[in-house]
Structure 1
Amino acid sequence: MKAHDLEADPGLFGPGSVTWQVHGDPMMWVAGVRALYLQALHPRAVRGVMQNSDFRRDAWGRLMRTADFVGTTTYGTSEAAERAGARVRKIHRLLGAVDPETGERYGIDEPALLLWVHCAEVDSYLHVLRRSGYPLGDDAADRYLAEQRVSARLVGLRPDDVPGDRAAMDAYFEAAVPELAAGAEAREVDAFLRRPPIHPLLVPARELLWRRVARLAYDSLPPYAHALYGRAAPDPDSVSRRLRRAGAVLRAIPDRLRWQLPPKHILRAMARLGPGARPAPYKVGPPVAILDGPGEGSEHIDNGGDGGRWRSPG
């Protein structure tokens, strides 16, 4: 590594973090769609989105802006990440929503709403990656959630108020479920994700590719989400097999090819920090001693992930 690389800013997480490794995985796109499905089930949160954004005509743009924020805060410099967070906090402070039934006006930067959006997002990342075969053990999963308190701070939350391990995240969702509902806004998000409006020439691609991604993301939701959306929950083992197949196919695409897509956050980070900053799954767990036998010296890995919530009855 060059001398100037040693002085380069590693950002808020750095190449030694779990976040740095997992956010480079291609299954993050499936996880991002799952997060949208889950976030839409909080009536106050989704109302804030629908009343303050052009989601109906610019849902793709919203998804790309979210991906850009995650990429910047993960792989950008500390200054770039803090600037992105400040921009999000400023926008949130200026916006509000109105409950059509009560007339109540509330800010979309309410801590409870920000917390729901954050937890639904990072939980989806963790769930989809582990269930699709990414080698993320229990300890590494807890480290990831602890690291994501940094992301929570950037959007305006107090890190101590955010679940920092799997047990705390499980407890959070258990308490949040009674507040969830599939209202009109949630069903609009659902309808869009299942069949987004696109140019007629792209309809075949939507049927071939997007609907598979959206269905896989939806099917990976927890049982209570399927119940709220009003569709029968699929067989969990079948969904896990499909997630593993999708993960195998996407991970077979060379990293350098995937990372060429704009805005090239990972390639820019590697140019800044050197080739040793390349994200890779094998960097997540602790080093394995040469004399360890098969399965020794490594964390227990449960491809179900998420404390088994996807197997629970709801």
Structure 2
Amino acid sequence: MTTLPLRARLLTALAGDPDGTPPWVLELADGDDTGLFLEDGPAWTVHAGTATMVAGIRALLMQALHPGALAGVHDWSRYREDPLGRLSGTVRWIICVTFGSQAQAERETARVARFHTRVTGDYRAGDGTPSSYSASDSDLVEWVHIAFTDSFLTCHEAWGAPIPGGPDAYVKDWATAGRLMRLAEPPQTAADMRTRIDDLLARGVLRGDIGDEHRVADVVSFLRRPPFEGSMNTAYRLLFASAVATIPARYRRLLGIRRSPFPVVTLTRLVLAVTGRALGSGPRAQDFARERLRRLAAGGLDVVDA
């Protein structure tokens, strides 16, 4: 049996395609506008970095602390049956919104929204009272947005290059994606974002398992066991440990996880460097987006100010 090169294995996991060029990636070169985000601006810088591989794990762990969001994952997600398909679906939305034209970003958001209209059910809130949920509920949309933004910012600060304008610039930039998901007032600064997370904890909205529930533990257990083999499995286990290391202790306790005693942050820096070289050996999503921007600029459109 032929073993796929590292780049092909990474792109199969991330994009569902060993070449990294499914139709939605190729479409990044199309379109008649410059997109929602400035080329090489805060969102481009963070989402093009390899630290996103740790951030994705961290975001899923943090999102599991909201029982409403967790219920939606438990009741509707296919992550157990098709973990790589679930991952590539999430990556698709992030990539299209970040690097695509406005039209592509809106189509992808509409695709996600159509699925979310079916995601409804019941759960026990942080205080144990019965509650109902819909994936379009404003409080759940806000939680998913801020948990995502916090995780991607935190991991980029640990392993990524400087962000143009700093952390607040990224939070403000990615607020555009929050508004695209109909979030009325997404945070504009890192301090505001983290205050909102801590406030949810203080009010008892965020919680671990209660009584005989095991939903949080099940998600943590699944994320700890990677759907990879060989060297990919070893690398993933390290990324998981590093994701845990970036989560404050008060949230780790709710998740029932401990920080590794090994120097996982330093080791992850080496793994991400190898990953970056592998992915950089061929075209990446941002390269297709640059094709669109160069085409538009050649046609007389001011890419910077558009």
Q: What TM-score do the two structures reach when normalised by structure 2?
A: 0.76
Question: How many percent of aligned residue pairs carry the same amino acid?
Answer: 30
Residue type at the aligned position of 2:241: R
Take 1:97 and 1:141, find their aligned partners in 2: how far apart are those partners? 36
Aligned to 1:151: 177
Cα shift readout 1:224-245 (whole Å, capped 9, x = no counterpart): 222112233346x945434433
SS at match of 2:74: helix
After the TM superposition, which parts of structure 1 deviate over 6 Å for at least 4 consecutive aligned residues? none
8 Å Cα contact 1:194-1:214 kept in structure 2: yes
Take 1:190 and 1:48, find their aligned partners in 2: how far apart are those partners? 16
1:225 to 231, 251, 266: 251
8 Å Cα contact 1:163-1:169 kept in structure 2: yes
Unaligned runs of 5+ in 2: 1-28, 298-306
Take 1:221 and 1:16, find their aligned partners in 2: how far apart are those partners? 27
Distance apart, 1:59 and its partner CA: 2.3
**Cα distance change of structure 1 residues 54 and 254 upon mapping to structure 2, 3 Å threshold:** closer
Take 2:51 and 2:219, find their aligned partners in 1: how far apart are those partners? 21
Take 2:90 and 2:187, find their aligned partners in 1: how far apart are those partners? 21
Residue type at the aligned position of 1:117: V
Aligned to 1:190: 220
8 Å Cα contact 2:168-2:189 kept in structure 1: yes
1:163 to 182, 187, 207: 187
8 Å Cα contact 1:52-1:97 kept in structure 2: no
Take 2:50 and 2:111, find their aligned partners in 1: how far apart are those partners? 26
Q: How does 1:248-267 map to 2 (within 5 A)?
A: 248-253=273-278, 255-257=280-282, 260=283, 264-267=284-287
8 Å Cα contact 1:227-1:233 kept in structure 2: no
Of structures 1 and 2, the one with the larger relative CO (CA 8 A, separation 6+) is 1
Q: Does 1:15 align with 2:39?
A: yes
Q: How does 1:109-124 map to 2 (within 5 A)?
A: 109-124=136-151
Deviates more, 1:243-252 or 1:185-194: 243-252
Cα shift readout 1:167-204 (whole Å, capped 9, x = no counterpart): 101211110223222222221111111114x5xxx643
Take 2:152 and 2:207, find their aligned partners in 1: how far apart are those partners? 22
Aligned to 2:11: none
Aligned to 1:306: none
SS at match of 2:84: helix
SS at match of 1:57: coil
Cα shift readout 1:136-191 (whole Å, capped 9, x = no counterpart): 37x42111100111111222211xx2111111012111102232222222211111
Aligned to 1:245: 270
8 Å Cα contact 1:52-1:95 kept in structure 2: yes
Q: Does 1:36 align with 2:60?
A: yes
Aligned to 2:154: 127
SS at match of 2:151: helix
Unaligned runs of 5+ in 1: 278-314
Take 2:251 and 2:135, find their aligned partners in 1: how far apart are those partners? 23
Cα shift readout 1:24-53 (whole Å, capped 9, x = no counterpart): 111211111111111111111111111112
**Cα distance change of structure 1 residues 136 and 268 upon mapping to structure 2, 3 Å threshold:** closer
Q: How does 1:45-56 map to 2 (within 5 A)?
A: 45-56=69-80
Take 2:114 and 2:180, find their aligned partners in 1: how far apart are those partners? 11
8 Å Cα contact 1:27-1:128 kept in structure 2: yes
Q: What TM-score do the two structures reach when normalised by structure 1?
A: 0.74
SS at match of 2:221: helix
Take 1:136 and 1:265, find their aligned partners in 2: how far apart are those partners? 19
Residue type at the aligned position of 1:108: A
8 Å Cα contact 2:119-2:135 kept in structure 1: yes
8 Å Cα contact 1:226-1:232 kept in structure 2: yes
Aligned to 1:216: 242
**Cα distance change of structure 1 residues 240 and 276 upon mapping to structure 2, 3 Å threshold:** farther
Deviates more, 1:204-213 or 1:105-114: 204-213
Residue type at the aligned position of 2:199: A
SS at match of 1:167: helix
8 Å Cα contact 1:8-1:273 kept in structure 2: no
